Amino acid sequence: MPPDTPPTAQHDGEQEPPALIAPKRWRCCDCGATGLDSHGITCKSCDGLGFC
Ligand SMILES: [Zn+2]
């Protein structure tokens, strides 16, 4: 299995400043929050963010 490290791989720690990210984060149901689709290209649904 190839490394599918998302560009925003971070620990969901509570020390992250909330100002850097939107308060509402929903995992993209299209790519599974990886930001990449099944072909390994940027997910169109979330624009590669992994959240929508
Ligand atoms: Zn997506």
Q: What is the Å distance from ligand 1's center to 30 Cα?
A: 5
Domain count, the chain: 1
For the segment 17-35, the average pLDDT, to the nearest whole number, is 75
Task: Give the domain extent around 31.
Answer: 23-52
In a domain, 44, yes or no: yes
Beta-carbon contacts of 45 under 8 Å, excluding residues fewer than 6 positions away, are 28, 29, 30, 31, 52
In a domain, 45, yes or no: yes
Residue 7 belongs to some domain of the structure: no
Write out the two tokens for 18: 């909330």
pLDDT at residue 41 above 90?
yes
Decide if 49 is inside a domain: yes
User: What mean pLDDT, rounded, does the chain reach?
Assistant: 78
* pLDDT confidence tier of residue 16, bands split at 50, 70 and 90: low
The yes-or-no verdict on residue 28 having pLDDT over 60 is yes
pLDDT of residue 13: 67
Per DSSP, 27 falls in state: B
Using the predicted structure, report yes or no on whether residue 42 has a pLDDT greater than 90.
yes
**Residue 22 Cα to ligand 1 middle (Å):** 16
Q: How far from 15 is each of 12, 26, 48, 51, CA to CA, in Å?
A: 8, 19, 24, 20
Residue 39 forms part of a structural domain: yes
2 C-alpha to center of ligand 1: Å? 18
User: Is 51 part of any domain?
Assistant: yes
Structure tokens at 48: 């590669």
